[in-house]
Amino acid sequence: MRVPQTICLLVGTAISYALIVVGIPALGALMRPGTWPVVPAHLVGLYMFFIVIVILLYAAGDDERWKRIRNEIQFFFGAQKAWLARSAVIATISLAGGYLAYAAARSDLDTPPELRAIHPAPPSSFSVGGKMYNLLTLENPLRADKKNFARNVRAGAEIFFKNCVFCHGDKLDGRGHYADAFHPLPANFRDIGTIAQLQESYLFWRIATGGPGLPREAAPWASSMPVWHRFM
């Protein structure tokens, strides 16, 4: 029995892939022992693109070969006898697709290799609910309202205990009920390095835009801090 052409081509593609993702690093390791260079994903994609083109050209370049491949494909998808192999391939592709989608969406709780910028530089302005705020000139209007200061602080405490206590803790120490599930941990407000040192305009920005609003240098650490302007 002759091995089906289609299988040869698929195996050839798989071998080319293995050569790129393992062969190239192995070559690098040979030239510089102790290292294992990584081939960038877009380069792998580029190589594979050309390899697949060449394989398709090879398949279509000869009438006889092309006819055989076409018959094999028709047999695989159409023949009664091939049902088991067909089902197996379709199931494998579906499962692999599902796993890839899951792997891409799954959040990674490992510590990223980058250092985290805990207090990244804020933008000079940002917009919330259609209103622009200039962080350089922004002042806290509640602080100027001396008459109602005590009442405003109490209102703030109420907001804290309704919204923030679950993560930042009832002692403001970042040890709320949910704290252990998060990485990075919720900020500890009693630490003199956090809100005691920060400008109120900065805090306004951090609270309004939360983890997703953090600039790039602080972003690889998927912060669970909510985007509060959406809820409050």
Binding site for ligand HEC (CB under 6 A): 119, 163-164, 166-168, 178, 182, 184, 186-187, 194-195, 203, 206-207, 211, 223-226, 228
**One-letter amino acid of 224:** S
User: Given the complex with ligand HEC, which of 59 and 203 has the nearer CB atom?
Assistant: 203
| N-to-C CA span, the chain | 71
Q: How many CA atoms lie within 13 A of 134 on its CB side?
A: 2
Comparing CB distances to ligand HEC, the nearer of 152 and 163 is: 163
CB of 29 to ligand HEC, least distance (A): 38
Query: Which residue, 16 or 186, has its beta carbon nearer to ligand HEC?
Result: 186
- For residue 210 the two structure tokens come to 């939360």
Residue 117 C-beta: closest distance to ligand HEC, Å: 9
Residue 209 · residue 229 · CB < 8 Å: yes
**Given the complex with ligand HEC, which of 67 and 143 has the nearer CB atom?**
143
Q: How far is the CB of 43 from ligand HEC (least distance, A)?
A: 34
Q: What is the CB-side half-sphere exposure of residue 206 using CA atoms within 13 A?
A: 20
Q: Kindly give, in sequence order, each residue whose CB lies less than 8 Å from that of residue 127, ignoring residues fewer than 6 positions away.
A: 133
CB of 127 to ligand HEC, least distance (A): 19
